[in-house]
Structure 1
Amino acid sequence: MNIVENLKMAASTLTSNKLRSSLTMLGIVIGNASVIALVGIGQGAQKLAKEQFESLGPNVLFVVPGSQEERRTSFDLPKTLVWEDADAIAQQVPSVTEVAPQINGNQLITYRSRNNNKLVIGTTPEFLSVRSFEVAVGRFINENDLKRNNRVVVLGSEIAEQFFLQTNPIGKQIRIKNISFEVIGVMESKGSFLGSNQDDSVYIPLTTMSNQIVGNTSPYGTQVSFIAISAKDENSIRAAKFQIENLLRLRHKITDSDDFGVQTQKDILTIVGTVTNGLTFLLAAVAGISLLVGGIGVMNIMLVSVRERTQEIGLRKAIGAREKDILGQFLIEAIILSATGGVIGTLIGVGTILIVGAFSPLAATVSPVAIVMAVSVSGGIGLFFGVFPARSAAKLDPIVALRSI
């Protein structure tokens, strides 16, 4: 019997048991759809994280307080990084162009009857260029604001909309920690960064933040949350990191482990890439289990089919069908079930990715590699799990099979 006849017979058998065939394919469908969708979403998350870090600027470095071990295990970091460190970096490190220290803290913001806890960032004029932010309306903090401890504030775009609706906020007074501040500007929309909404913050002079909002919390100077630094160019990043580390070790009189960390955009991207790759692999592995379960389902149904069709097998062998003909027929049935389930699962998986991409910030992408692997695996599973029932059918003794008629 040739392959065309086997295909026709397999198709006829499967279509005559539509419900059983559909339920058999269900595990394969779910497995394929899960693998393709989860891999696509994982790659989308990785791409989104990369784009967000690139939006910081190509030559940005961050100096953060605390040793690597303390940052990993403690929520209360030591108060070792100060504004004076930022000034020293700006003046003594030749491979950097601008330095923007900042103090972060959540505070109650009030305007008339509206109030909410928002992130307040005390910073310097260099913040705009170092962090690639822009002002939409009004102006940003300047040197006079820093020198005079001016009570001025620049609003994030979402806060401006929440508190002032459609009115112009410039010149209005808001209260931060029950202290009155004049609105001098509104930032351009920047979007979210690793789950943190950058448009939901307000910016005030670093001196005002230190002296009037949080107070002086370090015995070594004006404590800062971290320092953002812009290197001259991409080729200067490594030199800037080396020079900053050496300078801070001298300033902090470090003889053992560092009480600070210097992270480049590339360092952070590597960490994020490792995490997202691991999560994507884990999700794909979990989804792959359903493919295995679907393959076992195919084998179970094919064994049941062999038992139900014992008479048919005996009759075919009695009139001249060879073992390889019977083997081929049952293998083709198993492969058709798995391949059809793979195609349907692929379509569902791709559709899920497109829906996620349309209704979320994830730039979910369809991975051709994942599609090829999922369909190949599902077809291979059909072949692998179909071998045992097919061999069982091929090995049936025609005399024994005909006795059951």
Structure 2
Amino acid sequence: AIMQGSKLINDISPSGNKPFPVRYKSTILKSVLCVGVTPNYENIRNFHVATGRFITEEDNKNVRKVAVIGEKVAERLFKDEDPINKYILIWRVPCQVIGVMEEKGIDISGVDQDNQIFLPLNTYLRRFINKDYINNISVQVVDEKAIPLAKKEIEDILRKRHKIKNSDDFTVIDLKDVMSLKTQAMSMIKTLGNISAILSFLIGGVGILSIMILIVNERRLEIGIRRAVGSRKRDIVYQFLIESSFISFIGGTIGVFISLISSFFIFKITNLPFTLSPFGFIVSFFASVLIGIIAGIYPSQKATKIQPVEVIRK
């Protein structure tokens, strides 16, 4: 109906997806996104096979139990073994592997395309979810400039087909919408991260300030004796600034490594790519030292005001 109702659409590919457990011999993957697709899916999404073949019209028409697996799925299930023509158990359905997709990475919506399994759409609908409708349609327009008008035409066609007058029971999203949402989400995460970092540094600075004041009070005798034997005020200031910056540096180092380890496990669980920013590391360490120096200014100045005579008297 969409192809017939619009001249701005070049091709469409209906699909559906749901996670299922997958097994090959003794290796079990608890949850892999299985996607029911039509043969033109790889051209619309520009996502092609590296070895073997993709799903054909015959596979779809005859409801064949065949599967094209993502690069990560192949690596996790088969390791160094050739997966072509091997059988894997997807949920309760044995499927023959007919192809392995090229490495693609994460798409703009955050889905790891290498951790998917592609099935003929009819096989997916009948053998796996037992339904006769799909939840997604990928559309390829004739020209990028035609996207807004094509989007409007698709909405009109679907409203007419679904006999909708008021609120829609569907959503039409183009890549620009997805990119905009992703940019907004990343901006919000970045802002929250910056606020958290500022609060952490402030709390850390206050903590170091309190510790250094206690240290100065505990070491009044030592400071008084040093002043009595000729230590300059500048030497006292340097001593306490170095101590406060060292405390801050040690705390910052521990914090960075704890966050590094926890981030690694979070990214591992969510299957997102783990990247390190050397610039972020350098900034974190320098900021830690700077906070320590700032927090040590008042205690060091307080230490210089200690009079040797008063200390000895007490």
C-alpha distance after superposition, 1:23-58 (max 9, x if no partner): xxxxxxxxxxxxxxxxxxxxxxxxxxxxxxxxxxxx
2:38 to 112, 116, 124: 124
CA shift, 1:106, in A, is 3.7
Say whether residues 1:337 and 2:239 are aligned partners: no
CA shift, 1:187, in A, is 1.8
Larger relative CO (CA 8 A, sep 6+): 1 or 2? 1
Question: What residue in structure 2 maps to residue 213 of structure 1?
Answer: 128
Q: In the superposition, relative to structure 1, how do residues 349 and 239 fare at CA in structure 2: closer, same or farther (>3 Å)?
A: farther
CA shift, 1:201, in A, is 3.2
Question: What residue in structure 2 maps to residue 362 of structure 1?
Answer: 274
How far apart, CA to CA, are the structure 2 residues paired with 1:97 and 1:199? Answer: 26
Once the two structures are superposed, the pairs formed by residues 128-277 of structure 1 within 5 Å of their partners are 128-161=42-75, 166-174=80-88, 176=90, 178-179=92-93, 181-191=95-105, 198-216=113-131, 222-230=132-140, 241-263=151-173, 264-277=177-190
How far apart, CA to CA, are the structure 2 residues paired with 1:353 and 1:114? Answer: 31
C-alpha distance after superposition, 1:85-116 (max 9, x if no partner): xx51x454555544333212344656677766
Question: What residue in structure 2 maps to residue 394 of structure 1?
Answer: 305
How far apart, CA to CA, are the structure 1 residues paired with 2:297 and 2:196? Answer: 25
Contact 2:71 2:100 in 1 (8 A): yes
How far apart, CA to CA, are the structure 2 residues paired with 1:273 and 1:341? Answer: 33
CA shift, 1:331, in A, is 3.5
Q: In the superposition, relative to structure 1, how do residues 170 and 403 fare at CA in structure 2: closer, same or farther (>3 Å)?
A: closer
TM-score, normalization: structure 1?
A: 0.57
Question: What residue in structure 1 maps to residue 207 of structure 2?
Answer: 293
Letter in 2 for 1:205: P
How far apart, CA to CA, are the structure 2 residues paired with 1:100 and 1:106? Answer: 20
Letter in 2 for 1:151: K
Q: In the superposition, relative to structure 1, how do residues 228 and 343 fare at CA in structure 2: closer, same or farther (>3 Å)?
A: same
How far apart, CA to CA, are the structure 2 residues paired with 1:230 and 1:384? Answer: 65
How far apart, CA to CA, are the structure 2 residues paired with 1:271 and 1:197? Answer: 20
CA shift, 1:128, in A, is 1.8
Contact 1:353 1:364 in 2 (8 A): no
How far apart, CA to CA, are the structure 2 residues paired with 1:241 and 1:362? Answer: 35
SS at match of 1:185: strand
How far apart, CA to CA, are the structure 2 residues paired with 1:265 and 1:134? Answer: 22
Q: How many residue pairs are counted as aligned between the two chains?
A: 299
C-alpha RMSD of matched pairs (Å): 4.2
CA shift, 1:190, in A, is 3.9
How far apart, CA to CA, are the structure 2 residues paired with 1:304 and 1:381? Answer: 18
Letter in 1 for 2:240: A
SS at match of 2:219: helix
TM-score, normalization: structure 2?
A: 0.71
Once the two structures are superposed, the pairs formed by residues 376-387 of structure 1 within 5 Å of their partners are 376-387=290-301
CA shift, 1:300, in A, is 1.6
SS at match of 2:84: coil
1:99 to 3, 6, 12: 12
Q: In the superposition, relative to structure 1, how do residues 104 and 139 fare at CA in structure 2: closer, same or farther (>3 Å)?
A: same
How far apart, CA to CA, are the structure 2 residues paired with 1:403 and 1:376? Answer: 37
How far apart, CA to CA, are the structure 2 residues paired with 1:96 and 1:381? Answer: 63
Contact 2:249 2:285 in 1 (8 A): no
C-alpha distance after superposition, 1:142-172 (max 9, x if no partner): 2333344333322233444555565544344
SS at match of 1:211: helix
SS at match of 1:331: helix
How far apart, CA to CA, are the structure 2 residues paired with 1:304 and 1:371? Answer: 29
Unmatched 5+ residue regions in structure 2? Answer: none
How far apart, CA to CA, are the structure 2 residues paired with 1:174 and 1:351? Answer: 40
Question: What residue in structure 1 maps to residue 216 of structure 2?
Answer: 302
Unmatched 5+ residue regions in structure 1? Answer: 1-86, 217-221
CA shift, 1:140, in A, is 0.7
SS at match of 2:122: helix
SS at match of 2:171: strand
Contact 2:253 2:285 in 1 (8 A): no
